[in-house]
Amino acid sequence: MIVIHSLKGGGAERVAVNLAADWVARDCRVTLVTQTGTATDAYALHAGVRRVALGTAGDAGGRLGGLCANLRRVRRLRRLVRRERPDILLGMMTTSSILAVIAARGLRCRVIATEHTHPPSQDLSPIWLRLRRWAYPRAAAVVALTKGTAAWIESNVPGSRVAVIPNAVRWPLESGAPVLDVPNRAGRHRLLAVGRLHPQKGFDLLIRAFAALAEYFPDWDLVILGEGGERDILRSQIHAAGLADRISLPGRAGNVGQWYEASDLYVLSSRVEGLSNTLLESMASGLAVVAFDCETGPREVVRDGIDGVLVRPAEDWEALAAHLSELMSHPARRAAYARRAVDVRDRFSTARVMAMWHHVFVGDRDERPESAGGEG
């Protein structure tokens, strides 16, 4: 049983859908539980996955209202767990993981918590921070996407049983809605970025970097695929730079694989990352990459100087511009990096990643924590 707030667009949401499909393919009975209904879903579930919507989404307002809302979420989830009796209860992201540990207290299932972003970058209230310190040591395991996040959990949430399992890159890439037509390049070059239009993704830094290069590379355009609350701010920045004809924000693309194939270079400008799905996908598609070496994530995917470039220091748009310029002006180097980039298909293959999950699922049942064993 996988517990996640919603299936709106996002990396963790897509991972949840992919994991559910992979476990169904391995003859597991899988239920995916959300607080929201299906109206906001951005990803389609495998036909063999049972979907349960708790109907507990929404901001109750105020501290007391929030407490009551979370108690209601725990009660409904616990009732479902008691009825369905899953072997594994998997929380996707921090708050869902905490709620899963509380809801399964004393029931016979292994509870696994997951962190999909680097915890220092999260904006959690003091109560959620305290609950995480209480809950994670009571989970059978806490899964982190990167070694950096695992080290943070071990230092800041003592007693947690931490495992590192990266996201898998599913190859060939699947296509879905919405389908955005890929414009013909007409002999021009395309620099591509993909992600939520959110400050963490650093697209404001990317636009500044590209603006500094635009006059020197008149045959290059920048495309940023994605949706989010920063759209108007980024559009204003693009217009202020006089680059509305060179930088585009087409929206979220379900056929992102076609955009990778029709691009010349991929850029990841994130201030913070968990483990970037788009970075894996772009490399699997045969693109050289330039990525900020933020605290966690890219350095565990990109082999600097072999299949891409890590930009240091992170958030330095001038350094980003310099490294982009280097690859934009050297097509042979881009091609060499691209040839090696496809190694991620093996390094982060579904088979390898699912074997890691199996190891965590089996675990050491003799060391099951109190919260995951015994009838309540």
Q: Could you tell me the domains of the chain?
A: 2-168+351-372 (3.40.50.2000), 189-347 (3.40.50.2000)
State pLDDT tens for residues 295-348: 999 999 999 999 999 999 999 999 999 999 999 999 999 999 999 999 999 999
In this prediction, residue 373 carries a pLDDT of 38
State pLDDT tens for residues 250-296: 999 999 999 999 999 999 999 999 899 999 999 999 999 999 999 99
Mean pLDDT, to the nearest integer, of 349-361?
A: 96
Q: Which residue has the tokens 């962190």?
A: 115
DSSP track, 51-66:
EEE----S---HHHHH
Residue 341: which H helix or E strand, with range? helix 331-341
Instruction: Read off φ and ψ for residue 293, nearest 5 degrees.
Output: -85, 65
Q: Which of the two residues, 138 and 375, has the higher pLDDT score?
A: 138
Q: Which residue has the tokens 């355009």?
A: 221
Q: Which residue has the tokens 């395991």?
A: 141
pLDDT at 360 over 60: yes
pLDDT at 133 over 70: yes
Closest CA to 339 of 291, 289, 299, 290: 289
Tell me the two tokens of residue 271.
């201030």
State pLDDT tens for residues 69-94: 899 999 999 999 999 999 999 999 99
pLDDT at 374 over 60: no
State whether residue 268 is helix, strand or coil: strand
∠219-222-228 over CA atoms, to 5°? 165
